[in-house]
């Protein structure tokens, strides 16, 4: 793509691990120049956070997945000379992001009130775990902990199962995405008014927003939602919504009329039920359906269901998914080559602009890789 929409914007990323860097990744994909400001010697703590002991060169695979297409500038924010140079960078920046605990940036003189004195037009994006006020403000903002205490862990699994978290860092990813939304909206306003902005998001607020449907129902009824005893897919939805075993695998069935489903799969026992009892007898209906689906293979059931345009799909793992034409046509993969020559296959930006996909093959930076070049270009000092 000849010109990405954020080309010309300068972002300073004082972020580590996932939430802040995931926001920086998306801004970089969309054309912004993202400079990671890292601690000398160690850098972003995510450089050492391993995924199943997978490493490329001297940084973790995790670091490479969310820090490609960025530059690295090292500075000791507690050292007056380094801090003075960072403030020179802030003078020229459009956006600054950090995901430190409340008070950390203020201690080094880079809180919002200090930064806007340096650059009144800057968009200052701050990520926290629980917000900057209240008794939890200094608790560790870690994804599993947030999933657990936000109620999210009670939405997955069956009724008798223990609380079950998502198998990925959903809080970090959602919060990073919402930070991008806030930054983009503030950039639009700045274009109109010239005013900068403080954008604040937290992992907890992102997860509460994620559960808006469940929380609204709870506030309206005063009752906690209950997971199905069997084949739970969503605590607020009636049968048959869920994932079911077949003779050779699993299929997912979404919102489907009970009578139509019974006819499509030839289940006489299921014909005894109708939509009026789809929630009140949810577990009973699901148990009947689950028993019936075990008698044939997934392909057999999907052919029957799709012939009637009923909502059902096979449950796939990544090995099977990535071999399918429906996956390949999306072109969601890209290969990046690290500075040490190792190739890494990762995902691309999922956004298309005017029909064009966005590929960003530039690898994640080595720690301090661009420090001297940035000093020369943006600060005028070697």
Question: What is the pLDDT at residue 54?
Answer: 53
- Check if the beta carbon of residue 302 is closer than 8 Å to that of residue 251: yes
122, two tokens: 């800057």
Question: What is the pLDDT at residue 310?
Answer: 98
340, two tokens: 């040490």
In this predicted model, what pLDDT tens digit does every residue of 140-189 receive, in sequence order? 999 999 999 999 999 999 999 999 999 999 999 999 999 999 999 999 99
Question: What is the pLDDT at residue 380?
Answer: 81
Question: What is the pLDDT at residue 36?
Answer: 98
Q: Which residues pair with 57 in a beta bridge?
A: none
- Check if the beta carbon of residue 326 is closer than 8 Å to that of residue 316: no
Burial class (CB in 10 A: 0-12, 13-18, 19+), 309: exposed
Report the alpha-carbon distance of residue 382 to residue 373 in Å, rounded: 8
Question: What is the pLDDT at residue 61?
Answer: 83
Active-site residue among 79, 234, 250, 306?
A: 234
Q: What is the per-residue DSSP string for 154-188? A: GSSS-TTSPP---SS-HHHHHHHHHHHHHHHHHHH
Report the alpha-carbon distance of residue 349 to residue 333 in Å, rounded: 9
First to last CA, the chain: 34
CA angle, 367 then 33 then 342, to 5°: 45
- Check if the beta carbon of residue 365 is closer than 8 Å to that of residue 72: yes
DSSP label at residue 364: P
- Check if the beta carbon of residue 226 is closer than 8 Å to that of residue 235: yes
Decide if 234 is catalytic: yes
Question: What is the pLDDT at residue 340?
Answer: 79
Task: Give mean pLDDT in consecutive 10-residue pieces for the chain, a chain of 382 residues.
Answer: 89 95 97 97 84 60 90 96 97 97 95 98 97 92 95 94 94 97 98 97 97 95 94 94 97 97 97 95 97 98 98 96 96 90 90 94 92 92 54
Report the alpha-carbon distance of residue 85 to residue 341 in Å, rounded: 32
Report the alpha-carbon distance of residue 358 to residue 351 in Å, rounded: 7
What pTM, to 2 d.p., does this model score?
Answer: 0.92
198, two tokens: 């403080």
Question: What is the pLDDT at residue 57?
Answer: 59
Q: What is the fold, at CATH topology level, of the domain defined by 10-210+352-379?
A: Rossmann fold (3.40.50)
SS3 12: strand
Q: Where are the beta strands (DSSP E) in 231-310?
A: 242-245, 250-253
| Spans of all domains in the chain | 10-210+352-379
Question: What is the pLDDT at residue 60?
Answer: 82
- Check if the beta carbon of residue 168 is closer than 8 Å to that of residue 135: no
């Amino acid at each position: 793509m000849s010109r990405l929409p954020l080309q010309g914007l300068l972002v300073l990323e004082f972020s580590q691990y996932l939430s802040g860097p995931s926001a920086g990744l998306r801004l970089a994909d969309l054309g912004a120049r993202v400079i990671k400001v890292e601690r000398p010697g160690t850098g972003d703590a995510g450089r050492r956070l391993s995924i199943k002991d997978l490493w490329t060169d001297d940084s973790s695979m995790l670091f490479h997945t969310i820090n490609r297409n960025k530059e690295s500038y090292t500075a000791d924010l507690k050292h007056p000379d380094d801090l003075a140079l960072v403030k020179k960078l802030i003078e020229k920046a459009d956006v600054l992001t950090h995901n430190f605990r409340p008070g950390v940036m203020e201690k080094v003189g880079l809180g919002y009130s200090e930064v806007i004195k340096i650059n009144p037009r800057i968009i200052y994006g701050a990520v926290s775990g629980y917000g900057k006020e209240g008794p939890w403000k200094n608790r560790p903002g870690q994804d599993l902990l947030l999933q657990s205490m936000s109620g999210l862990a009670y939405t997955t699994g069956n009724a008798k199962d223990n609380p079950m978290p998502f198998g990925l860092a959903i809080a970090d990813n959602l919060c990073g995405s919402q930070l991008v939304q806030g930054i983009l909206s503030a950039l639009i306003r700045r274009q109109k008014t010239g005013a900068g902005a403080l954008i604040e998001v937290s992992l907890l607020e992102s997860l509460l927003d994620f559960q808006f449907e469940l929380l609204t129902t709870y506030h309206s009824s005063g009752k906690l939602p209950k997971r199905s005893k069997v084949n739970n897919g969503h605590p607020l939805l009636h049968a048959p919504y869920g994932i079911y075993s077949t003779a050779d695998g699993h299929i997912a069935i979404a919102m489907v009329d009970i009578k139509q489903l019974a006819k499509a799969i030839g289940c006489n026992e299921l014909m005894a039920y109708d939509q009026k009892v789809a929630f009140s007898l949810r577990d009973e209906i699901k148990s009947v359906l689950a028993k019936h689906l075990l008698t044939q293979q997934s392909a057999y059931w999907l052919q029957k269901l799709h012939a009637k345009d009923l909502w059902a799909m096979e449950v796939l793992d990544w090995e099977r998914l990535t071999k399918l034409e429906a996956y390949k046509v999306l072109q969601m993969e890209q290969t990046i080559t690290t500075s040490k020559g190792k190739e890494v296959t990762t995902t691309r930006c999922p956004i298309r602009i005017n029909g064009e996909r966005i590929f960003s093959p530039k690898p994640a930076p080595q720690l301090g890789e661009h420090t001297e070049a940035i000093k020369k270009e943006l600060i005028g000092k070697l």
